[in-house]
Structure 1
Amino acid sequence: MNANHPERRGSAWAPVITPFTSSLSVDTPRLIDHCRWLQSHGVGLAVFGTNSEANSLSVTEKRDLLSRLERAGLNPARMMPGTGHCAIDDSVALTRDAVQMGAAGVLMLPPFYYKGVSDEGLFRYYAEVIERVGDSRLKVFLYHIPPVAQVPLSLGLIERLRDAFPQTVVGIKDSGGDWAHTLNLIERFAADGFEVYAGSERFLLDTLRAGGAGCISATANVNPAAIAALAGAWQDADADQRQAGLNQVRDLFESYPVIPAMKAAKASFSGVDDWHRLRPPLVELDSQRRQSLLAALEAQGFSMPEGKDVSH
C-alpha cells in the first residue's frame, strides 16, 4: 500500500455483538437488525469475533447464523466471519461456508487452548485448514490477539504463511494493543498488499497514515458512523480532531468491561432491555455501573442514531 495515494480509503469493521433470548439462544432477528444498522452506517461485519462472544457459540450455531444472515440479504462482500477454532475440522467447516457465500474473507484465530506452541505447529494448523478448504476464493485474515488467546503470531510465522499462500493469507487484525507492533507489521508486509488492521479505532488514523488498511474494532458496534467516516476521510484536515473524538468514546467504554458496556448502550438506545444479556461466563453490568455508563455517555453527547430496534 502506498500511504501517500490520495484516493486510498480505509475500512472499518465491527466484531458484531450477539443478542440472546431469555433461554440464551441467539436472537436471530435482532442480530440481523443490528447487522443491517451497522452496514447502513458504513461498517463491515466481522461476525463471530471476540466481542461477538463467538467462543461461547457452537460451530453448528455459527453455521446456521451465517446462512440466516445470507438469506436476510446482508452483503457478503462486507462480511469477514471469524472462523478460527481449536479443532481443524470446525475451522474448515465454517470457513467453507463463508467462502461459498462470497464473504470478503475470514478472520482466523490460531488454535488457542494449548500454550507455548511452536511456529511450526501453528503453520501446520493454518496450512491444513487452507488446503482442506481448497478454494482459490479463500482470503484469510490472521487474528493476532495475544492478551486473550495467549498464542501470538510471530513475524516469522506470518512471513512463512505469506510465502506459502500469497494469494490466500492476505491480511491480519492486530489486537495486541501495541502500536509499535502494528507499525512493524505495516512496514514489513503492507508494501505488497498485505492488509493490516488495527484492533482498535484508537490506532485508526496512525494505521492509515502508515499504510495500513483500517480497523476491526469492538466499539464500531456502538459508534459506527464516526469510525467509518474517519476511515473514509482520513486525509481531510480535521482528521486529528475526529480521531480525538473517537478516542474519547473509546476511553469511556474501556473504563468498563467492554462487551457488557456495549450491550448496555445498545439496550438503552434501542429501548430493548434484552440486549443486556450475555452468555455465561460473561455477565451484564450491574445497575449501578450501567447507570454510571449511561450518564457518562449522556454527558459526552453520545448517540446511536436510527438505533431503534423494530424487529420484534
Structure 2
Amino acid sequence: MTSTIANKAKVIPRGIYVPVVSLYKPTKRQEVDYDASYKLFCHLIRGGLEWAGTNAEAVLLSAEERKELVKIARKAAVDLGRPNFPIVAGISGQSTNESIRLAEDALSAGADFGLLLPPNYWAKAVTKDALLGFYRDVADETTLPIVIYSFPAMCNGVDMNSDTLSELAQHPNIVGVKLTCGNAGKVTRLTQEYKHEQFAVYAGSSDWLLPCLIGSGSGCVTGIANVFPKSVSRLYALWNDGKIKEAQELQGLVAQAEKACKEGIAPTKYAVGHFAGSAAGIADPKTFWPRKPYLPVDGVKAAWVEKVMQHLVQIEQSLPDAV
C-alpha cells in the first residue's frame, strides 16, 4: 500500500451487498408494499448478505418512500437480532443540494452508508472539477459516510477513472466505491494505493467477484443476490476459506445465471418473484412488477430467465440460513 491517509472513522464492512428491489402493491398507483418489503429484507438477511438498502429502484421512489424503506430495513435487521447490520441507502440526486438532503434523510432513517452516483443529466457539463466538487461537497455536509457509485452505462456515459477515484478516496468521509463499470484495472490500481480501511473497492456485479477479490477488492454489490442470496454468499465464503477450485466452479455458475440480471430491472424482478418469492413469503407475482411506465417481462423472456437461472436452484436450497 502506498497511501498514508488515516483509516476512515467508519469503515464499510467487506462482503456481499444487494441492491434490494422495490416491491409494489398491485394497484393503479403501485404504492410501495412495505409489508412485502419487510419480508424480502428478512429473507435476504437470512441468506447471509449485507445489503445496499434501496438503491436498486431509488430513481422510481419519492424521498419519503426511500426513507420508509430504510426504516423497514432497519426494523428487519433488529427483529432478526442484527441491530448493527450495515445498511447502505441510495442517495443519488442530480444536484449537490438534493444529494445532501437525501443523505440526511437516509441517516435519520437509520442508514449506515450512502451510495452516490455522479450527476449526469447534462453530461458535457460534468467535468473532473465538477465531479470532485460534487462528491467533496456532499461528503463535507453530511456525517453519513459516502460510497461512490461508478455506473457510466446508466449515467449518460459519465465515468470516473482511477486517478479521479483516488483523489476522492482521500476525503475522510468517502469510504469506498462500487464499480459497475466492470473495470478490473481500477480495482488493482486503487487497492495498490489504499487498504480496505482507507478506501474499499467493490465489484458492481457478482459475475466478476473472484477477479475483484484476486485484485484485493472487498466484495461486490450485486442484483442477483436478490434471487440467490445464499449462493452468492457461499461464493464469497469459499474464497475466504481458501477453497479456490470450488469457488471458481461456483463463480462460473453464478456468472451464467447473472446474464438475466444484465437484461434489466424487469427480468431481475421476475427472477426474484419466481425463484425467491415463496421463500420470502410473498405470493402475488404482481408485487414484483416494475413501477410504471416500465413493463413486466413477457412470456418468452420469463421462460428464458427461468432457463438461465434454474441451475442455481438446487445449490440455493441446499444451503442453510445464516440467521
Alignment TM-score, normalising by the size of structure 1: 0.83
Counterpart selection for 1:267 from 228, 249, 273: 273
Aligned-partner SS, 1:263: helix
Q: Do 2:90 and 2:114's aligned partners in 1 also have CA atoms closer than 8 Å?
A: yes
Counterpart selection for 1:151 from 158, 162, 169: 158
Going from structure 1 to structure 2, the CA distance change for 1:245 and 1:225 (only over 3 Å counts) comes to same
Q: Counterpart of 1:39? A: 45
Deviation of 1:253 after TM superposition, in Å, equals 4.1
Aligned-partner SS, 2:296: coil
Counterpart selection for 1:226 from 226, 231, 256: 231
Going from structure 1 to structure 2, the CA distance change for 1:73 and 1:194 (only over 3 Å counts) comes to closer
Deviation of 1:288 after TM superposition, in Å, equals 2.3
Deviation of 1:115 after TM superposition, in Å, equals 0.3
Q: Do 1:264 and 1:285's aligned partners in 2 also have CA atoms closer than 8 Å?
A: yes
Query: Over the residues paired in the alignment, what is the CA RMSD in angstroms?
Result: 2.4
Deviation of 1:260 after TM superposition, in Å, equals 1.3
Q: C-alpha distance in 1, partners of 2:250/2:312?
A: 15
What pairs with 1:1-312 in structure 2 (closer than 5 Å)?
10-21=14-25, 22=27, 23-49=29-55, 52-74=56-78, 75=83, 77-100=85-108, 103-116=111-124, 117-133=126-142, 135=143, 138-149=144-155, 150-163=157-170, 165=171, 167-190=172-195, 193-234=198-239, 235-237=242-244, 238-254=246-262, 257-269=263-275, 270=277, 271-298=283-310, 300=311, 302=313, 305=317
Q: Do 2:180 and 2:205's aligned partners in 1 also have CA atoms closer than 8 Å?
A: yes
Q: Do 1:81 and 1:98's aligned partners in 2 also have CA atoms closer than 8 Å?
A: yes
Q: C-alpha distance in 2, partners of 1:284/1:203?
A: 27
Letter in 1 for 2:227: V
Q: Do 2:94 and 2:120's aligned partners in 1 also have CA atoms closer than 8 Å?
A: yes
The total of aligned residue pairs comes to 289
Give per-residue Cα distances to partners, 1:168-204, cap 9 Å, x unaligned: 1111000002323333333343476311000011111
Gaps of 5+ in 2: 2-12, 278-282, 319-323
Q: Do 2:19 and 2:221's aligned partners in 1 also have CA atoms closer than 8 Å?
A: yes
Q: C-alpha distance in 1, partners of 2:312/2:219?
A: 26
Letter in 1 for 2:100: V
Going from structure 1 to structure 2, the CA distance change for 1:109 and 1:76 (only over 3 Å counts) comes to farther
Q: C-alpha distance in 2, partners of 1:124/1:292?
A: 44
Q: Do 2:256 and 2:309's aligned partners in 1 also have CA atoms closer than 8 Å?
A: no
Letter in 2 for 1:302: V
Over the matched positions of the two proteins, sequence identity in percent amounts to 24
